[in-house]
Amino acid sequence: MSRIYAIILCLGSLVISLDQWTKNLAIETLKTEGTSIPFLSWFNWTLVHNHGAAFGMLRNLPDSVRVTFFIVMPLAVLTILWFTIVRHIKPIQKITPVAMGLVLGGALGNLIDRIRFGYVIDFVDWFYPSSGDSCIPLFYRIGGSGCHWPVFNVADIAINIAVVLLIIDSFKNGSPEPAPQKNSCF
């Protein structure tokens, strides 16, 4: 079991370190929110202060509610994951500890931002050129610069990879075996 915890903690620490390093690099390089630097033909570095959840949801809540919610929620989710998944990982399982390490690092990486700044630093602006009026679902138009995915960061990438790994793992392992039932007397 200690090997499983070591994987989770090491990977979580790696994600937090990479996440915070890239966010600090984005802040130093871009300086002010909204500043954008082309990186590739389909990526920009764009500094965004995300006051909401994923895709900016819930950003219009009052500050006292929003900040409290976004600090308590990741801690609650991590606690639930600990009691429902992490404590029950078997040594034979290889994907689940990796996924839990990614979730831990991603959740804590964004939580650090919420505590430091009151918002999350996002900076990866992924887009595709489009001259039409509409974008594919989940992408949105910004002026004439194409269709953009909501700006994200390394912590978000880690959490999304974890979700994909858990989905793959659920198909690979099938449904969990039911717990053996004890014989009881009336």
Instruction: Choose among 40, 37, 17: nearest CA to 28.
Output: 37
Nearest residue to 16 via CA among 107, 122, 125, 117? 107
pLDDT the model gives residue 62: 74
- pLDDT reported for residue 182: 60
pLDDT tens string 23-48: 999 999 999 998 889 888 888 899 99
Which residue in the list 19, 113, 122, 125 is annotated as catalytic?
Answer: 122
Confidence of residue 181 (pLDDT cuts 50, 70, 90): low
**Count of beta carbons in the 10 Å neighbourhood of residue 66:** 19
In this predicted structure, the answer to whether residue 1 has a pLDDT above a threshold of 70 is no
Cα three-residue angle 79-156-40, rounded to 5 degrees: 170
Known catalytic residue at 113: no
Selected catalytic residue, list 19, 113, 125, 156 = 156
63 is catalytic: no
For residue 51, the model assigns a pLDDT of 85
Residue-wise pLDDT tens digits, 65-106: 777 777 888 888 888 888 888 888 888 888 999 999 999 999
Both tokens assigned to 177: 């075996």
Dist CA 17 CA 71 (whole Å): 19
